Amino acid sequence: MPQKACTVSLLASTPDAMSLIYAAFRQCYHAGFVGDMWPRLVAGEISREKQGEFIAKIMESGHTSPIEHVSFTFAVEGVSRALTHQLVRHRIASYSQQSQRYVDGSDFDYILPPAIARIPEARERFEAFMREVGSAYKDLKELLETKGRGAKAKEDARFVLPQAAESKIVFTMNCRSLINFFEHRCCARAQWEIRGMANDMLAMCREVLPVIFETAGARCERLGFCPEGEKFTCGRYPLP
Ligand SMILES: Cc1cc2nc3c(=O)[nH]c(=O)nc-3n(C[C@H](O)[C@H](O)[C@H](O)COP(=O)(O)OP(=O)(O)OC[C@H]3O[C@@H](n4cnc5c(N)ncnc54)[C@H](O)[C@@H]3O)c2cc1C
């Protein structure tokens, strides 16, 4: 039952992403058919710089639906159920999460919050509780198995697992949803664990598609001021 840390992997992203976004934008303003333009686009006949400039200009206008055609798929492990519960609140996405009904939780891993790790007595109490939960899970699973619940025992024993229990999840978001996700979750107001994951994801997105993600992140990064108000501001940027 070890402590785990977050790992983010970028599994896939839409190929020819920049050309695809450019084509989608162009179709909105072009009398011709972008299907005819597509082979020239992917062959690089219209330079990436020109495509990038066009995309950046249109994005500024707020016409952002064409970026929905490009998606990123991430696999994440070493995160708590507390994190994944927040993550799946983002509805414009697809999720596949490790099941606690089918995967045995007897030796579950857990996430130790750094603030608890820094206080020896708090850490000791936390870890003792994790051991107690593991022991209760095993007892309940065994009792349920012997009393006729069979393979369904895990389904009920999992009710004692904590929010700290480690989870693994695969999810896909399009660029527009990702920008919204980063605005919420890269902000200092977001919880530390999901903020760390969001910052890792943002770095990966920037590497693949800088034209879209260079200015993504907490809203203050783009605005140059903090829109969270006096009560919630972290102070990194001035209030408007
Ligand atoms: C700091 C922080 C604190 C939070 N605290 C709480 C809390 O205490 N309790 C709680 O329940 N949640 C809380 N949340 C979750 C938050 O309310 C959102 O549910 C979550 O961030 C998902 O954001 P979203 O709806 O923008 O994303 P998505 O679900 O991906 O939606 C993307 C966008 O699509 C549009 N949209 C989607 N669905 C609808 C709809 N049904 N109607 C209209 N427009 C829609 C909206 O414009 C939305 O921004 C918190 C989030 C943060 C960042």
pLDDT in tens, 172-218: 999 999 999 999 999 999 999 999 999 999 999 999 999 999 999 99
Are 170 and 74 spatial neighbours (Cβ–Cβ below 8 Å)? yes
The stretch 83-92 carries a mean pLDDT of 98
- 8-75+167-232, CATH topology level: Gyrase A; domain 2 (3.30.1360)
The stretch 112-140 carries a mean pLDDT of 97
Q: Which numbered atom of ligand 1 lies nearest the CA of 191? A: 1
Using pLDDT thresholds of 50, 70 and 90, give the confidence band for residue 151: confident
Q: Which numbered atom of ligand 1 lies nearest the CA of 92? A: 30
Catalytic: 185?
yes
Query: What element of type H or E holds 17?
Result: helix 17-29
Distance between CA atoms of residues 164 and 168, nearest Å: 13
The stretch 74-91 carries a mean pLDDT of 98
Give whole-number Cα distances, 197 to 24, 80, 162, 178, 211, in Å. Answer: 30, 11, 20, 13, 21
Is residue 60 classed as helix, strand or coil in its secondary structure? Answer: helix
Q: Which residue of the set 26, 81, 185, 195 is catalytic?
A: 185
- Rounded to two decimals, the pTM is 0.95
Pairing of strands 7-13, 94-97: unpaired
Distance between CA atoms of residues 68 and 75, nearest Å: 20
Cα angle 136-110-169, degrees, rounded to a multiple of 5: 115
What pLDDT score does 154 carry? 96
Nearest CA to ligand 1 atom 16: 89
pLDDT digits (tens, 9 = 90+) for 19-57: 999 999 999 999 999 999 999 999 999 999 999 999 999
Tell me, in angstroms, the distance from the centre of ligand 1 to residue 182's CA.
12
In 10 A of CB 217, how many CB atoms?
Answer: 19
Are 158 and 81 spatial neighbours (Cβ–Cβ below 8 Å)? no
**Residue with tokens 């609140």, as numbered in its chain:** 89
From 51, 45, 55, 161, select the one nearest 109 (Cα to Cα): 161
Radius of gyration over every alpha carbon of the chain, rounded to an integer in angstroms: 23
The structural domains of the chain, with segments of one domain joined by +, span: 8-75+167-232, 113-162
